[in-house]
């Protein structure tokens, strides 16, 4: 660098500028070894643009150091020192800067270094060196400044802590209030729940009393109508007989409804007792079909067995309850079939522990959007209500409860207008009790 023709003061300044430029040059070289040329170039360019400091760059993309002022040189050091810290940590960056300063010490005096190089090194780096270069007065001033800063920080800290403590106290009291509210709600809910349980019990008793009371007169009516229809009480005209038969059918439907209500009520109150034993499902289904055949014939329906293996194992079931399952599903298949339709019934062993039953009809089917509610108590699909006004919506609810009590599953597949296939499973009877449904104290098992 040129030093001729300058006054001593100017010479010192020139030395300082030269030292700062030299320092940046060495630091850039050192960084190139660590990060590679391209990355160092990118770091410098992005630091300048981020800080919005104008700078001149050479054709190689690096800042023209000789033409930079101290402000720009500082940006160079900040960019590289920050990147070294980010990638390798503070100590590494500190050591790198220290190494370059040491290198500089060979060519520049301590005064020149402190007047230039240390001025462009960002705060937090080479602090010891910076302090060493301060005069006693500067040092005292610096200490005073730092003490004032600390005091300020301290004051703010106290204010902040006070504020946060207040906030926390507020939160705590909110929480306490919420907890009290929760306890009160919990208490109220428990009371409401108890009240509902009592109401439910009353309702359940009411239903079972009414249903039982209805059953006796309905049976009486059935008996009387039977006598009239059979002619035991004297001859009736054809027209009278037709009306009597209609009354008989309505009465029968009423009996079925009352039975459904009693069945559902028993399920809900847990009064339904199960008597699990080895059962041959063919015997059960044959018996139900025998009863249902007149209804099916009246609608010209065909009921066909499409799967009836002769070696079907016995299942562990309560014969009365499993009969109710077949009865409800076959009743529905008949009820919701179109005249001259076909109902397919089948059963087979689906795995070592299970018998799978299916009952398929080609009737009105179940609308897709209503399929999820089909096992819900009292639910009847809109197309079913239109096609058949009679129905309680309790049959499938009872079916599901019974099948599940047998540790089985019930489900269906349906396309509206094309029919429904109901499936259910029952566990195979095992003499060692494995795979047999669990039994509570009211259940008993008869072994053959
Ligand atoms: P319901 O007394 O109405 O037949 P269920 O509980 O037995 O009561 O059946 C509930 C509803 O499920 C019926 O109302 C009907 O919408 C639908 N459903 C049941 N079985 C069939 C079927 N085989 N075909 C079409 N819809 C059916």
Quote the tokens at residue 397. Answer: 């609810």
Closest residue CA from atom 14 of ligand 1: 380
Q: Report CA(249)–ligand 1 centroid distance (Å).
A: 20
Q: Report CA(208)–ligand 1 centroid distance (Å).
A: 24
Compute the distance between CA of residue 59 and CA of residue 41 in angstroms, rounded to an integer.
Answer: 12
Name every protein residue with a CB atom under 6 angstroms from any ligand 1 atom. 328, 332-333, 336, 361, 363-366, 374, 379-381, 384, 391-397, 420
Q: What is the pLDDT of residue 414?
A: 97
Q: What is the pLDDT of residue 94?
A: 94
Give this prediction's pTM: 0.55
Q: Report CA(225)–ligand 1 centroid distance (Å).
A: 29
Closest residue CA from atom 11 of ligand 1: 380
Q: What is the pLDDT of residue 392?
A: 83
Closest residue CA from atom 13 of ligand 1: 380
Compute the distance between CA of residue 240 and CA of residue 2 in angstroms, rounded to an integer.
Answer: 137
Q: What is the pLDDT of residue 201?
A: 79
Q: What is the pLDDT of residue 434?
A: 52
Q: What is the pLDDT of residue 1?
A: 39
Q: What is the pLDDT of residue 16?
A: 59
Closest residue CA from atom 7 of ligand 1: 395
Closest residue CA from atom 20 of ligand 1: 332
Laid out side by side, the sheet with 342-351 consists of 302-307, 342-351, 354-360, 419-427, 410-415
The answer to whether 363 and 415 are in contact (CB under 8 A) is: no
Q: Report CA(421)–ligand 1 centroid distance (Å).
A: 12
Which atom of ligand 1 has the smallest separation from the CA of 381? 16
Closest residue CA from atom 4 of ligand 1: 391
Which atom of ligand 1 has the smallest separation from the CA of 394? 6
Q: Report CA(374)–ligand 1 centroid distance (Å).
A: 7
Compute the distance between CA of residue 343 and CA of residue 71 in angstroms, rounded to an integer.
Answer: 94
Mean pLDDT of each 10-residue bin along the chain, 448 residues long: 44 69 94 94 93 88 89 93 93 94 90 87 88 80 87 88 92 93 94 90 78 84 92 90 92 86 79 88 94 92 93 94 94 95 96 97 96 93 88 90 95 97 96 58 35
Q: Report CA(217)–ligand 1 centroid distance (Å).
A: 28
Q: Which whole-number Å values give the CA distances from 88 to 9, 28, 84, 405, in the listed order?
A: 40, 16, 6, 68
Compute the distance between CA of residue 230 and CA of residue 331 in angstroms, rounded to an integer.
Answer: 26
Which atom of ligand 1 has the smallest separation from the CA of 397? 6
Best of 366, 388, 389, 424 for a ligand 1 pocket test (most atoms within 8 Å of beta carbon): 366
Closest residue CA from atom 2 of ligand 1: 391
Compute the distance between CA of residue 428 and CA of residue 351 in angstroms, rounded to an integer.
Answer: 9
Q: Report CA(191)–ligand 1 centroid distance (Å).
A: 37
Q: Report CA(202)–ligand 1 centroid distance (Å).
A: 29
Q: Report CA(384)–ligand 1 centroid distance (Å).
A: 7
Q: Report CA(15)–ligand 1 centroid distance (Å).
A: 101
């Amino acid at each position: 660098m040129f030093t001729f023709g300058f006054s001593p003061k100017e010479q010192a300044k020139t030395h300082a500028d030269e030292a700062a430029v030299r320092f940046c040059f060495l630091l850039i070289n050192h960084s190139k070894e660590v990060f590679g040329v391209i990355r160092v170039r990118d770091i410098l360019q992005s630091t300048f643009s981020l800080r919005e400091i104008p700078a001149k760059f050479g054709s190689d993309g690096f800042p023209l150091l000789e033409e930079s002022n101290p402000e720009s040189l500082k940006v160079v050091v900040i960019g590289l020192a920050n990147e070294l810290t980010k990638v390798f940590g503070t100590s590494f960056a500190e050591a790198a800067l220290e190494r370059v300063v040491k290198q500089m010490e060979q060519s520049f005096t301590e005064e020149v270094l402190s007047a230039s190089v240390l001025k462009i090194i960002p705060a937090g780096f080479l602090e010891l060196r910076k302090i060493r270069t301060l005069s006693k007065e500067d040092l005292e001033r610096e200490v005073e400044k730092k003490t004032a800063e600390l005091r300020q920080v301290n004051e703010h800290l106290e204010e902040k802590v006070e504020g946060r403590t207040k906030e926390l106290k507020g939160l705590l009291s909110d929480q306490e209030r919420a907890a009290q509210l929760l306890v009160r709600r919990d208490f109220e809910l428990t009371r409401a729940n108890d009240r509902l349980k009592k109401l439910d019990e009353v309702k359940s008793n009411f239903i079972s009393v009414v249903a039982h009371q209805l059953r006796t007169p309905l049976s009486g009516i059935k008996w009387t109508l039977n006598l009239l229809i059979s002619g035991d009480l004297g001859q009736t005209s054809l027209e009278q007989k037709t009306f009597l038969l209609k009354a008989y059918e309505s009465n029968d439907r009423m009996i079925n409804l009352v039975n459904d209500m009693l069945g559902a009520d028993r399920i809900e109150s847990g009064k339904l007792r199960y008597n699990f034993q080895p059962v041959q499902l063919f015997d059960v289904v044959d018996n139900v079909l025998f009863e249902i055949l007149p209804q099916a014939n009246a609608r010209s329906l065909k009921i066909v067995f499409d799967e009836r293996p002769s070696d079907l194992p016995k299942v562990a079931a309560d014969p009365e309850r499993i009969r109710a399952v077949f009865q409800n599903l076959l009743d529905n298949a008949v009820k919701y079939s179109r005249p001259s339709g076909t109902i397919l019934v089948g059963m087979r062993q689906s795995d070592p522990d299970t018998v799978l039953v299916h009952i398929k009809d080609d009737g009105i089917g179940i609308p897709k959007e209503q399929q999820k509610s089909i096992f819900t108590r009292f639910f009847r699909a809109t197309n079913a209500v239109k096609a058949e006004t009679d129905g309680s919506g309790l049959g499938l609810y009872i079916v599901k409860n019974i099948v599940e009590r047998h540790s089985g599953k019930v489900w269906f597949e349906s396309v509206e207008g094309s029919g429904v296939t109901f499936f259910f499973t029952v566990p195979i009877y095992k003499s060692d009790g494995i795979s047999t449904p669990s039994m509570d104290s009211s259940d008993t098992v008869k072994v053959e």
